[in-house]
Chain A
């Protein structure tokens, strides 16, 4: 499959596809972070995670139309407002869902799977009713369009760089929150032993609700970033949820570093293979590789070694 390309072409292709993979990686990381936090802490498999992401995408879309119509002079900076609003909207909805639905099902993990799946169907239909079945695209401000030529045959897109930068900042922020802050310590305590965390004085219900909101809020930011690489429709979230689960499981639950490493390897493999093979063949090969590795290492890529 490499035969038709010269060596210089090949290296350019790898760099460009690698960069495209990095953009995909960024969206994956943002999605998987939220999912991993929620799954790690509460053991809840949130099937509606993709819909929380799409909520963020729609918020970004609304924001872009709002700025275009009413504040065209500030259009250049709307994306930052949109990301903040996407975080708040998805986070608030996440907390509402936790309060109304999830907290009643903590003792029945399998039922949360069904319940959140139902929720995802409801949300999809709600998006269809409110925003219409047609996919919507987001207008980017001019400074985010175009690309920077690196060499004659290699170009990197500016919006891609932006997404990568946002992901880096968010990931670092989450890492600091979880590993350096007091709230993070409470999250990890609840993660490691729920009833004991309560017995040392941690309000586990409050931690649960905030964590769920945080995870969903990050998904909202992922949705914001997603508008740059794809168009937003009611069912766009579903395409990503399976990959995201794969990443969380492959990375090893409850390991932030593992999640990042697995998102990186999966998105890069996918993106590079997609150029040479068809999209579905690329997916098949990626999945096969993941299955093979998980058979050898069922605990995922990264795990902490401690006495239990």
Chain B
């Protein structure tokens, strides 16, 4: 027991492949009003790497995502995307610099059609046509492109939210609890899709999760966030599942 306790407190340095990180977060603090939620987060994500941020409810996963996206203001620290500092930029400018976001609960524009939803993601690219490869990746969206987004099932909405995010040609894709409210068979499918996206487009993915099996399936590296700090980090190869599970148990 004592051994694991010391092991869990020592943070393994991120494995870098020599290249500069695609997403670099350093000493990030964020607060809602006076109450600070993130207390100095440091994460580096290499190009093409999938990182899962795990933690129980209320530990700061969503806040981290929202802070990265500029929805929750940064108190101090820096966020860099592919070498560009985006800390002071507004959300839409961060998208132009290469961040894309799939929020918790999908948040698709429910009164707009599927196609219009994807088109909103094209704003920063200046292009007008939905790239064909998005429909190839999510054929169900092509089938339903004239339907209102709000009338899709949860799994379809999730695909739509991912397609909308990918439409902006991101370098880093952020997904906030993508498995929430999705049936298990579709969760496995989504894991395959995420890895496919990474392999085809070479982008980096940060995914926040509570489901350990999903994280084990997709992630190259797993971080655990607790009370606004990263408390554990390990590569998938040498992850101690029982130990991470303990962090997640309530």
Given contacts A192-B110, A192-B111, A304-B111, contact A200 B120 (CB under 8 A): yes
Contact with A along B116-146 (1 / 0, CB 8 A): 1001110110001000000000000000000
Q: Is the CB of B71 within 8 A of A200?
A: no
B150 lies within 8 A of chain A by Cβ: yes
Q: Is the CB of A201 within 8 A of B96?
A: yes
Q: Which one of A5-13, A165-173, A180-188, A280-288 is at the interface?
A: A180-188
The residue in chain A whose Cβ has the minimal distance to the Cβ of B118 is A200
The residue in chain A whose Cβ has the minimal distance to the Cβ of B90 is A198
A203 lies within 8 A of chain B by Cβ: yes
B224 lies within 8 A of chain A by Cβ: no
Contacts of B151 in A (CB 8 A): 306-307
B107 lies within 8 A of chain A by Cβ: yes
Interchain CA distance A198-B70 in the complex, whole Å: 9
Q: Is the CB of B119 within 8 A of A182?
A: yes
Given contacts A196-B103, A197-B120, A202-B92, contact A306 B111 (CB under 8 A): yes
Interchain CA distance A198-B96 in the complex, whole Å: 11
A258 CB, min distance to chain B CBs, angstroms: 13
Interchain CA distance A306-B110 in the complex, whole Å: 7
Q: Is the CB of A199 within 8 A of B101?
A: yes
Given contacts A199-B103, A201-B96, contact A308 B110 (CB under 8 A): yes
B123 CB, min distance to chain A CBs, angstroms: 4
Choose one: A182, A192, A204, A205; the contact of B109 (CB below 8 Å). Answer: A192
Given contacts A188-B111, A304-B111, A307-B150, contact A200 B116 (CB under 8 A): no
A153 lies within 8 A of chain B by Cβ: no
Q: Is the CB of A185 within 8 A of B120?
A: yes
B230 lies within 8 A of chain A by Cβ: no
Q: Is the CB of B112 within 8 A of A201?
A: no
Q: Is the CB of B123 within 8 A of A202?
A: yes
Contact with B along A270-308 (1 / 0, CB 8 A): 000000000000000000000000000000000010111
Contact with B along A125-166 (1 / 0, CB 8 A): 000000000000000000000000000000000000000000
Interchain CA distance A133-B168 in the complex, whole Å: 55
Q: Is the CB of A189 within 8 A of B112?
A: yes
Interchain CA distance A201-B119 in the complex, whole Å: 11
B residues 82-128 near A (Cβ < 8 Å) are 90-92, 95-96, 100-101, 103, 107, 109-112, 116, 119-121, 123-124, 128
Q: Is the CB of A199 within 8 A of B119?
A: no
Contacts of A199 in B (CB 8 A): 69-71, 91-92, 95, 101, 103
Interchain CA distance A198-B72 in the complex, whole Å: 12
Contacts of B121 in A (CB 8 A): 200-201
Q: Is the CB of A200 within 8 A of B123?
A: yes
The residue in chain B whose Cβ has the minimal distance to the Cβ of A195 is B71
A231 lies within 8 A of chain B by Cβ: no
Interchain CA distance A204-B71 in the complex, whole Å: 12
Q: Is the CB of B111 within 8 A of A200?
A: no
B165 lies within 8 A of chain A by Cβ: yes
Residues in chain A within 8 A of chain B (CB atoms): 182, 185-186, 188-189, 192-193, 195-205, 254, 304, 306-308
Of the A-B pairs whose beta carbons lie under 8 Å apart in the complex, a sample of 21, sorted by A's number, is: A182-B128, A185-B120, A188-B111, A192-B109, A192-B111, A193-B109, A197-B120, A198-B90, A198-B91, A199-B69, A199-B71, A200-B101, A200-B121, A200-B123, A202-B123, A204-B91, A204-B92, A205-B90, A304-B148, A306-B110, A307-B150
Residues in chain B within 8 A of chain A (CB atoms): 69-71, 90-92, 95-96, 100-101, 103, 107, 109-112, 116, 119-121, 123-124, 128, 148-151, 164-165, 168
Besides A188-B116, A189-B120, A200-B100, 4 other CB < 8 A contacts?
A: A192-B109, A199-B92, A201-B96, A307-B151
